Structure 1
Amino acid sequence: MAHEPLLSPYAALIARTPVTRAALTVRGGRAHLWRYGPDDAREHMVLLHGFRGDHHGLEPIVAHLLRAHPDLRVTVPDLPGFGASPPLPGVPHDVAGYAAWARVLLRKLAPGGDAVLAGHSFGSVVAAATTAAPGVPLARRLVLVNPIPRRPLSGRDTLSVGATAVLHALAGVLPEEAGTSLLRHPALTRVASIAMVRTPDRALRRWIHEEHGRYFAGFATRASLLESFRASITASVRDSAAGIDVPTLLIGGARDDLARVGDQRALAARFRDARLRLIPGVGHLTHYETPAEVAEEIATFLAADRAPAAAV
């Protein structure tokens, strides 16, 4: 017998969070974005979601963050090719393509370069590449949640990543309809979800699996999905870290198989100015399992930026 869908454990808090939807033309494509918090907020954060995600997955963090930090506005776009945002016309959906898109978006949203840029998982790779671009800084601070510290194909989980790559390669050679169906198959979504979840809370686990089932297949086209998948397994934050000059916060899960603790510490050491915060007992799904803890770390990081300098 089918189960009734579980209500999000964060539903009440998210419902109390003010949000408006907007759209902008960015690099020839229509970027759909969600703005949380007051329009006249003193501070602004732009938050990028991960591979196969969209803005929904980051709402638990945003809601907790705005409860603790009510003078903040958070903008969460759906990356091109995911959620409500269509693919970019004639532009590869790789890290360089996404970073170029994010730079234009930031100039439109915060032309003074005074926003905080943040990203989760693959979004951390894009955010880091965006911030490392030469020229005038486009953001004053950087927050990376579950950052990817090394290229997944070069890590200790090469076998599982390689198997996933084989499935995506198969989806690319099948006829369009069959290949897209394979990429959206619920069994593949469930396997990926089970591999990442760490919480012992059975109700939360079931909700996370349902949430992945609702949104994991929400990509626009097979072509854009395969391009972004290739980028997600061949790039990392490490590629950009040395070129980042702004203060950076890394928030990782202590049980993240995609980002082992040793790799996260080695990554933090590559930045000029970075601090690493590890959340115990959680893996790659901090946005679902421990959003309050993630929000607390971000709020503390932002508060330090506002603290008056010590008297000399």
Structure 2
Amino acid sequence: MSSTELPETRTAAAPSASRPARAVRVADGEELRSVSLPGLTLTVRARPGVEPGLPPALYVHGLGGSSQNWSALMPLLADLVDGEAVDLPGFGDSAPPDDGNYSVTGHARAVIRLLDSTGRGPVHLFGNSLGGAVATRVAAARPDLVRTLTLVSPALPELRAQRTAWPTVLLAVPGVASVFARLTKDWTAEQRVRGVLSLCYGDPGRVTDEGLRHAVEEMERRLELPYFWDVMARSSRGIVDAYTLGGQHGLWRQAERVLAPTLLVYGGRDQLVSYRMARKAAATFRGSRLLTLPEAGHVAMMEYPETVAQAARGLIADHGGS
């Protein structure tokens, strides 16, 4: 699965027919660029290390998220790693892939192609939710690209999904996304954001007024994208399909093959990935470390970035931090 493709790098700012006109937010200290590969264009949000020569890190977001999901965590590790967060195909500011492949394997292949083309591996790899499943596949398939692995509420198969996770499953059913889009066409961006926060945060009250405003602006931007609902539906279907795969392609079987030192982070109030899966994950990823946060929800790196950063620092320091 290696690649010899060379990326074309440019500033990701100017709108075009294939890119939204509304600008994507870039926090102080971040840099945004676009990497073009055959059939694939990915936006990368960089948080350069505080000094040259720091080992690279790559952050992979979850379903419906973007590279902005890591903006709170990345600066807390900038003295240890040179960080980059990718917008998966069709999410954030990345265009849909030419092949329309939104499976977990398709997303993993995009991450591998990015790392191969830029030559940044091996990296300290981080993944949340869908990004956790993607990162698990990458680590299993290409151990040469992964130095350490940090998974925050990874989307790994559960025998009994929580009821609050059923909407993700329903979204994967053909036609449901378009019906939902019609039924909710009068919802404001703020109503949608508050709904997402109540589902993803253990305590939505932790979100500041400024954070809410930025989230609403990003939601408004995404709703203008003609492919928004299609990407959500196809990626949801990709998660469901990955859950049903057996044999060597099953996510738990691949988790057993991961060689990289692993940190697992689970939230006690997670409504999408069950807290009870923490024990199974810790037993599956060999020699892994487990951080449980009873008050956290599905996005601990956004809810408790300092605590997650402290645990990640320990992992990185012990396994090739410099």
CA 1:198–1:173: 2 relative to 1, 3 Å: closer
* Residues 1:259 and 2:273 aligned together: yes
**Which of 290, 293, 299 is the equivalent residue of 2:304?**
290
The SS at the match of 2:138 is helix
For the 8 Å contact 2:112–2:138, the answer to whether it is kept is: yes
Displacement of 1:48 after TM fit? 0.6
Q: Which amino acid aligns with 1:24?
A: V
Describe the shift of the 1:184–1:121 C-alpha distance in structure 2 as closer, same or farther (beyond 3 A). farther
Q: Which residue of 2 aligns with 1:214?
A: 217
Distance 1:209 1:307, change over 3 A: closer
Alpha-carbon distance in structure 1 between the residues aligned to 2:214 and 2:172: 22
CA distance in 1, matches of 2:313, 2:153: 17
TM-score (norm 2): 0.76
Taking structure 1 as reference, are residues 21 and 307 closer, same or farther at Cα in structure 2, changes over 3 Å only? closer
CA drift of 1:110 comes to 3.1
- For residues 154-303 of structure 1, the aligned pairs below 5 Å read 154-157=159-162, 159-166=163-170, 169=173, 170-174=175-179, 178=182, 181=185, 187-199=191-203, 202=205, 204=207, 209-216=212-219, 218=222, 220=225, 221=227, 222-235=229-242, 238=252, 240-303=254-317
Whether the aligned pair in 2 keeps the contact of 1:27 and 1:88 (CA below 8 Å) is: no
Residue 129 of structure 2 corresponds to residue 121 of structure 1: yes
Give the Cα separation in 1 of the matches to 2:133 and 2:188: 24
CA contact (8 A) 1:171 1:182 kept: no
Q: For 2:86, which of 33, 52, 77 is the aligned residue? A: 77
| Deviation at residue 212 of structure 1 after TM alignment | 4.1
Cα deviation code 1:247-272 (max 9, x no counterpart): 11112223223333331111121122
Q: Does 1:55 align with 2:67?
A: yes
Equivalent residue, structure 1, for 2:46: 35
Per the TM alignment, residue 145 of structure 1 is displaced from its structure 2 partner at its CA by 1.6
- From 8, 29, 36, give the equivalent of 1:25: 36
SS at match of 1:41: coil
The amino acid that maps onto 1:30 is T
Cα displacement (A) at 1:72:
1.6
Gaps of 5+ in 2: 1-26, 244-250
1:256 maps to amino acid: D
2:154 alignment partner, SS class: coil
Q: Which amino acid aligns with 2:82?
A: R
Partner of 1:45: 57
Superposition deviation, residue 184 in structure 1: 8.6
TM alignment of 1:137-152, pairs within 5 A:
137-151=144-158
Q: Mind listing any 5+ residue stretches in structure 1 that lack a counterpart?
A: 1-13
Distance 1:164 1:22, change over 3 A: closer
Residue 246 of structure 1 contacts residue 273 of structure 1 at CA under 8 Å; is this kept in 2?
no
Q: 1-side partners of 2:124 and 2:169: how far apart?
A: 33
Letter paired with 1:162: W
SS of alignment partner, residue 242 of structure 1: helix
Cα distance in structure 1, aligned partners of 2:42 and 2:131: 15
Q: Deviations over 1:140-162 (max 9, x none)?
A: 221112222434xx4341x3333
CA distance in 2 between partners of 1:108 and 1:180 (Å): 40
How big is the alpha-carbon RMSD for the aligned residues of Structure 1 and Structure 2? 3.2
> What's the offset of the Cα at 1:53?
1.0
Distance 1:136 1:282 in 2: 30
Q: Are the counterparts in 1 of residues 200 and 299 from structure 2 also a CA contact under 8 Å? A: yes
**1:130 maps to which of 132, 138, 158:** 138
Measured after TM superposition, the shift of residue 128 of structure 1 is 0.6
CA distance in 1, matches of 2:321, 2:176: 52
Alignment of 1:84-103 (within 5 A): 84-103=93-112
Q: TM-score of the superposition, structure 1-length normalised?
A: 0.78
* Equivalent-residue separation in structure 1 for 2:131 and 2:233 (angstroms): 16
> Cα distance 1:215–1:122, how it changes in 2: closer, same or farther (>3 A)?
farther
- Counterpart secondary structure, 2:237: helix
